Amino acid sequence: MKINFQHKGNFNKLEKFLVNGLKIKPITRMILDKYGKMGVEALRNATPKDTGKTANSWYYIIEEDTNGNPKIVWANSNMTDNKVNVAILLQYGHATRNGGFVRGIDYINPAIAGVFQKMADEAWKEVNSNG
């Protein structure tokens, strides 16, 4: 099955629909977008590179958690032929075809920790400036 579509104009109505549908305030979405992009860049730069495909496959989405609070989810779309996420294989290691094991490299946690710290610093600054 193939679906084609054409588009004229911009995505303002779609964005408004998504923002209202998720009940995420525009200012909150702007802040989460800022850190979402920052996280993608940090992950891209920290990802071990052979071909660069995994490094360039990072993206983020903004969604609501089970309590309706907005959150950022970072993900990677690069999969092996067996539908295994390559970023996870790099992070935690994996078995080889000949029975060996390739040790993982903890690159995700250090990369994203800096983004979390900047988010916390900005939130703390905002709390203190209004108090």
Please state whether the predicted TM-score (pTM) of the whole model is above 0.85: no
Contact 87, 47 (CB under 8 A): yes
Higher-confidence position of 103 and 131: 103
Mean pLDDT of 56-64: 94
Confidence of residue 129 (pLDDT cuts 50, 70, 90): confident
Task: Give me the pLDDT at residue 78, please.
Answer: 96
Q: Is 94 left (phi over 0), alpha (psi -120 to 50) or beta?
A: beta
* Helical ranges in 1-131 per DSSP H: 12-22, 26-46, 86-92, 108-129
Confidence of residue 69 (pLDDT cuts 50, 70, 90): confident
Q: 44: Cβ–Cβ under 8 A, 6 or more apart, which residues?
A: 55, 56, 58
Higher-confidence position of 1 and 41: 41
| pLDDT single digits (tens) 27-58 | 678 889 999 999 999 999 999 998 899 999 99
